[in-house]
Amino acid sequence: MTYHTVWYVNDMKKTSYNEWIGAGLLALTEVGETAIRIEYLCQKLQVSKGSFYHHFENMDHYILSLMEYWQKENTSSVIDEVEHSASIEQKAEKLNVLVLEKDQQLEVRIRAWAIRDSRVKSFVDQVDQLRISYLQKLYYERGLPKEKALDVAMIEYGALIGIQHLCFKQPGAEFFRLSQVFQQLINLT
């Protein structure tokens, strides 16, 4: 997704809501949660603090908006798109493709931030529950009993998180390769 919706009025730069969200996600990916500060983001966007306060009441509101966007784009919309696939095999394949297309560094940075920030932890917990429940649903649709489907879903999701951390600074190709190996192993069960 591109966040370049800047317009000029009376030679004064205006910054859209989406640009603020995009700047926050980019800052998280590149620097980590220490970059989620009004001053830092204003400097990156080359705008005044007034632009920030035009869209957000305060930093709590910004973080809430940032996490809502992340939850929607990296979980809810992925599940919605996967559900449009016809067969369970197509759903599983589509899910893997969409997950691998997401910014894995962002996922790691948000999870690290959640260790120190209860607001973010709340969203990470919600996202984890949504993702695990959806994986369980897919394994159940493949014929596994509900309890075993949950076990396999948790193992798969845990492996994804582990691979994200192991491959944090490695090229995406290595992350993709390890994900494919894991999928081959899971399909043997």
Please tell me the distance from the alpha carbon of residue 82 to that of residue 139, in angstroms, as a whole number: 14
Question: Which residue in this structure is represented by tokens 């620097």?
Answer: 31
* 7, β-bridge pairs: 14
Out of 9-18, 33-42, 63-72, pick the least confident: 9-18
- Looking at CATH, the fold of the domain delimited by 1-56 is given as Arc Repressor Mutant, subunit A (1.10.10)
Average pLDDT over residues 152-165: 91
pLDDT reported for residue 164:
87
Average pLDDT over residues 40-55: 93
Please tell me the distance from the alpha carbon of residue 30 to that of residue 50, in angstroms, as a whole number: 25
Give the model's confidence band at 105: pLDDT under 50 very low, under 70 low, under 90 confident, else very high. Answer: very high
CATH class for the domain made up of 66-186? mainly alpha
Look over the chain and give the mean of its residue pLDDT values, rounded to a whole number. 88
Residue 14 scores a pLDDT above 80: no
Q: Same topology for domains 1-56 and 66-186, yes or no? A: no
Residue 4 scores a pLDDT above 60: no
Question: Percent of the chain beyond pLDDT 90?
Answer: 69
pLDDT reported for residue 171:
59
Question: Which residue in this structure is represented by tokens 């067969």?
Answer: 87
- Ordered by start, the domain boundaries in the chain are 1-56, 66-186
pLDDT reported for residue 5:
39
Q: What global pTM score does this model have?
A: 0.85
pLDDT reported for residue 172:
67
AA letter at 100: L
CA neighbor of 175 nearest in space, from 89, 96, 82: 96
AA letter at 170: Q
Residue 32 scores a pLDDT above 50: yes
Helix (H, G, I), strand (E, B) or coil at 57: coil
Residue 159 scores a pLDDT above 70: yes
